[in-house]
């Protein structure tokens, strides 16, 4: 699988492996050349639960910060290169007076395009410090679940992998099935 090849690649880098992994996590947010699930699971597989989670969190935080700053500095024309037009229009309301709690909830929602969210919030009036707190804490549960899947798989704890994967699949399915209701609830909370 892609995750296996990525894990083998990381292991082949020796002492440079953690730095390259963090770089991949940064790029995964800022440029999105590959899915975050792949890197998250690979991080747990290669580095274990604690180190994999820390390295992923560092990379995702820096990547989120880069995306936010790029959007803030270069503006909407730049963001339009990364965020699909329909997504940009649908979530354009986030670039207005968006509350930290609402943004935190968006980072918590599984399957929500968090990379796009970083760019969109860079167009808002949100302070960088608020954005970093919201994005770091909001990403933690999903990052931990991906990391633990990889770590349990490496330790050949397949029963635990199956439970975590099933739980993630149920959460994703519910988020997908209720995506319209979630979107309308978010928009309603914003418009208050």
> What pTM did the predictor assign?
0.82
**pLDDT average, residue stretch 172-185:** 71
CA distances from 9 to 28, 46, 176 (A): 16, 10, 33
Angle at 11 between CA 9 and CA 15, to 5 degrees: 120
Residue 51 scores a pLDDT above 90: yes
CB neighbours of residue 142 within 10 Å:
23
Confidence of residue 98 (pLDDT cuts 50, 70, 90): low
Tell me the C-alpha distance between 107 and 117, whole Å: 8
Cα 30 from chain centroid (whole Å):
10
Q: At residue 184, does pLDDT exceed 90?
A: no
Distance CA 65, CA 59 (A): 10
Q: Rounded to an integer, what distance in angstroms lies between the CA atom of residue 82 and that of residue 97? A: 22
Q: What is the pLDDT of residues 52-78, one digit of tens each?
A: 999 999 999 999 999 999 999 999 889
Query: What pLDDT sits at residue 191?
Result: 59
């Amino acid at each position: 699988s892609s995750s296996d090849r990525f894990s083998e690649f990381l292991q082949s880098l020796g002492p440079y492996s953690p730095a390259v992994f963090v770089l991949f996590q940064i790029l995964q947010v800022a440029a999105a050349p590959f899915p975050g699930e792949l890197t998250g699971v690979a991080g747990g597989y290669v580095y274990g639960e604690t180190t994999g989670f820390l390295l992923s969190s560092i990379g995702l935080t820096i990547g989120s910060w880069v995306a936010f700053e790029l959007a803030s500095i270069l503006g909407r024309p730049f963001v339009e290169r990364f965020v699909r037009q329909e997504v940009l229009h649908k979530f354009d309301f986030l670039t207005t007076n968006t509350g930290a709690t609402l943004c935190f909830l968006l980072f918590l929602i599984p399957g929500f395009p968090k990379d796009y969210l970083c760019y969109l919030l860079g167009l808002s009036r949100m302070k960088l410090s608020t954005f970093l707190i919201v994005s770091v804490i909001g990403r933690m549960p999903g990052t931990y679940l991906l990391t633990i899947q990889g770590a349990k798989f490496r330790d050949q704890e397949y029963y635990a992998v199956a439970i975590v994967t099933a739980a993630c699949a149920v959460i994703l399915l519910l988020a997908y099935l209720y995506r319209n209701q979630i979107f309308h609830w978010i928009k309603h909370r914003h418009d208050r």
